[in-house]
Amino acid sequence: MSGALDARLALTLGSFRLDAELRAPGTGVTAVVGPSGSGKSTLLRCLAGLEPRALGRIRFGDETWLDAARGVCVPAHRRGAAVVFQDAAPFAHLSVRGNLEYGLRRCPVARRQLALDDVTGWLRIAPLLDRRPGGLSGGERQRVAIARALLAGPRLLLLDEPLASLDSPARAEILELLRALFARTPMPVLYVTHARSEAVHLADHVVVMEAGRVRASGPLREIMLRADAPFGEPGELGCVVEAEVIAFDERDGITELRFSGGRLYVPGRLRLGERRRIEILARDISLSLDAPHRTSILNVLPARVEAVYDAESLQPVVRVDLGGTELLARVSRRSLRLLELREGARVFVQVKAVAVIP
Amino acid sequence: MNGDVAALLLTLRLAAISTGLLLLFATPLAWWVARTQSRWKAPIEAAVALPLVLPPTVLGFYLLLALGPQGPVGSLWGALGGGPLVFSFSGLVVGSVIYSLPFVVQPIQAGFEQLGRAPLEAAATLGAGPVDRFFSVALPQTLRHFLAGAVLGFAHTLGEFGVVLMIGGNIPSRTRVVSIAIYDHVETLDYGAAHQLAGILLAISFAVLLLVFATNRRWRGTPVT
């Protein structure tokens, strides 16, 4: 029932112009990232059918939602694309239960797969069912809105900065809930955010937007390696690797993980056999031509230089290949010159810090 | 005294029917004005608000011309098989609806503007069609404004004088409303009868407004913004 998105959209709102070509796979989470004002939310509103003046075309699976040239425009309530907005206000005249039932009652029978009890359990809102939305905290309101959207049986779930107006403890909690939720639900998810960390946590695919256009799009790992289309703050450039926990050293409290480029050692205990996302920032990697001996750095891996970006800037970025896994390293222009780092050079990667994504 | 009872009943009937029709017309009008970006918005808003500032006699004069047998509305109504509109109860209803329109449109329009687009958009993406959205989201969230509009329209029609005099005249049991009956009593120096009717009107008006303000306070517990 779910489908891939294929859209070509144009919309002018005042001085802003959206002119975006978007492709998103029919499963998993696609994060739409970019600075504020880059048109992420407008793109999402067009997909949901909330911008009646949008031009272009939208195909979802084998359906046409919009084909402006032929005068086709499926209204929002027939698209089956539920939206969770940034300041998702539950309906004030209904209780929390009433809000959830609002979605459930309008869910076509054929798509009724989730039970109210399951969803309230996953999102930890069962105790709130008889409350009025007016007395809920920001995080609670957001969880109610997410549950309401899920219960409407959407074929596409659209989230527009759902965590942006929350404080950081609430954000961390919901982020974790969302990750578990997206793993359970079959429909594709489009997740708009300006926070790189949310995309790194949740996304399988990434669409990078800038000034109303799609600058890059593809699998998360690939996009993170694109130093020419960075998303998030410049200091946040980095990569993620998928790794499996294979051992734990009791004496030093160190966990050993295996990934396609070798082994990683991280302080702390993780569950054996678990697969985790590990984020390694470009500024936390240093390169050396010789294997460092007697170093305090735990993770030293042999690699080969693949490419150098921004060689003329003060802090160029070097892409290295660890035998199947690529990483980005930020070095100084002087190091680049003294070490003669060029494509094909053999180096040792020293990873100063890694972040295990919860 | 019998005539006074008839006038009272006539007034209540006029106010009730006018309020019903007003809600019917004012709701789509308020909806349109609240969300349109058309350049016709300002002229339409101004036209709806005219009865607020025009002397009722001016309004009544134009209505008299329009509703008369030779007037555009009156002749059309006649062609459709309707009886004469001027000096009839139907004419009073038409006059009252126009006269009280801003009192009903404006609170409802304010309600729709306060409601904003967000809840309606959320409802749409949950699968609610336009009519469903109106009855399941817009109406329940603006009920307070609807009540205010209905009460203001009702109370305003109760107190109508000038327009009625112009297009309805003073026909007992047909177009003789309370305000005109009071005027008649005062003219004939029958202050006792005038007192009675005026007191009843005062009491009804106060009771209706009290009802609104009392329920309004209770509802304020649940935010409607």
Question: A16: which strand partners?
Answer: A13
Interface test with A, best of B117, B121, B126, B146 (most A CBs within 10 A): B126
B158-196 confidence digits (pLDDT tens): 888 888 888 887 788 888 888 888 998 999 999 999 999
pLDDT at B223 over 80: no
pLDDT at A340 over 70: yes
Answer yes or no: do B128 and A81 touch at CB < 8 A: no
CA distance A78 to A101: 18
In this complex, the residue of B124, B128, B224 whose CB is nearest that of residue A92 is B224
A241-297 confidence digits (pLDDT tens): 889 999 999 999 999 999 988 899 998 888 898 888 888 888 899 999 998 888 888
Residue B68: band (very low, low, confident or very high) from pLDDT cuts 50, 70, 90: confident
| Fold assignment, B2-178 | MetI-like fold (1.10.3720)
Q: What is the reported pLDDT for A66?
A: 94
Q: What is the mean pLDDT of residues A38-65?
A: 93
User: Given CB atoms, is A85 within the 8 Å cutoff of chain B?
Assistant: yes
| Residue B211 or residue B109, greater confidence | B109
Q: What mean pLDDT, rounded, does chain B reach?
A: 88
Interface test with B, best of A41, A85, A102 (most B CBs within 10 A): A102
Q: Which residue of B has its CA nearest to A158?
A: B125
Q: What is the dihedral of CA B63, B68, B71, B72, to 10 degrees?
A: 80
Answer yes or no: do B125 and A93 touch at CB < 8 A: no
User: Given CB atoms, is A152 within the 8 Å cutoff of chain B?
Assistant: yes
Q: Looking at the complex, report in whole angstroms how far the Cα of residue B193 sits from the nearest Cα belonging to chain A.
A: 47
pLDDT at A1 over 50: no
Q: Which element (helix H / strand E) includes A58?
A: strand A55-60
Q: Which residues in chain A have their CB less than 8 angstroms from residue B124's CB?
A: 49-50, 75-77
User: Given CB atoms, is A107 within the 8 Å cutoff of chain B?
Assistant: yes
Closest CA to A87 of B14, B122, B203, B95: B122
pLDDT at A176 over 80: yes
Cβ-contact A103, A149 below 8 angstroms: yes
Q: What is the reported pLDDT for A234?
A: 64
CA distances from B175 to B2, B68, B189 (A): 15, 16, 22
Share of chain A above pLDDT 90, in %: 53
Q: What is the mean pLDDT of residues B73-81?
A: 85
Q: What is the pTM assigned to this prediction?
A: 0.82
CA distances from A290 to A154, A269, A346, A347 (A): 55, 31, 9, 7
Residue B1: band (very low, low, confident or very high) from pLDDT cuts 50, 70, 90: low
Q: Which residues in chain B have their CB less than 8 angstroms from residue A103's CB?
A: 126-127
Q: What is the mean pLDDT of residues A211-233?
A: 81
Answer yes or no: do A76 and B119 touch at CB < 8 A: no
Q: Which range among B76-90, B130-144, B211-225 shows the weakest confidence by mean pLDDT? A: B211-225
pLDDT at B224 over 50: no
Q: What is the reported pLDDT for B218?
A: 60
| Residue B74 or residue B104, greater confidence | B104
| ipTM, two decimals | 0.80
In this complex, the residue of B121, B132, B140 whose CB is nearest that of residue A93 is B140
Q: Where are the domains of chain B?
A: 2-178
Could you give the angle at which helices B41-53 and B2-35 cross, rounded to 10 degrees? 160
Count of A–B CB contacts within 8 Å? Answer: 79
pLDDT at A326 over 90: no
Answer yes or no: do A106 and B126 touch at CB < 8 A: yes
Q: What is the reported pLDDT for A100?
A: 94
CA distance A48 to B117: 14
Q: What is the mean pLDDT of residues A24-31?
A: 92
Q: What is the reported pLDDT for A232?
A: 67
CA distance A4 to B18: 54
DSSP A166-212: S-HHHHHHHHHHHHHHHHH--S-EEEEES-HHHHHHH-SEEEEEETT
B162-172 confidence digits (pLDDT tens): 888 888 877 88
Closest CA to B135 of B32, B13, B27, B52: B27
Q: What is the reported pLDDT for B80?
A: 85
User: Given CB atoms, is A46 within the 8 Å cutoff of chain B?
Assistant: no
Q: Which residue of B has its CA nearest to A93?
A: B141
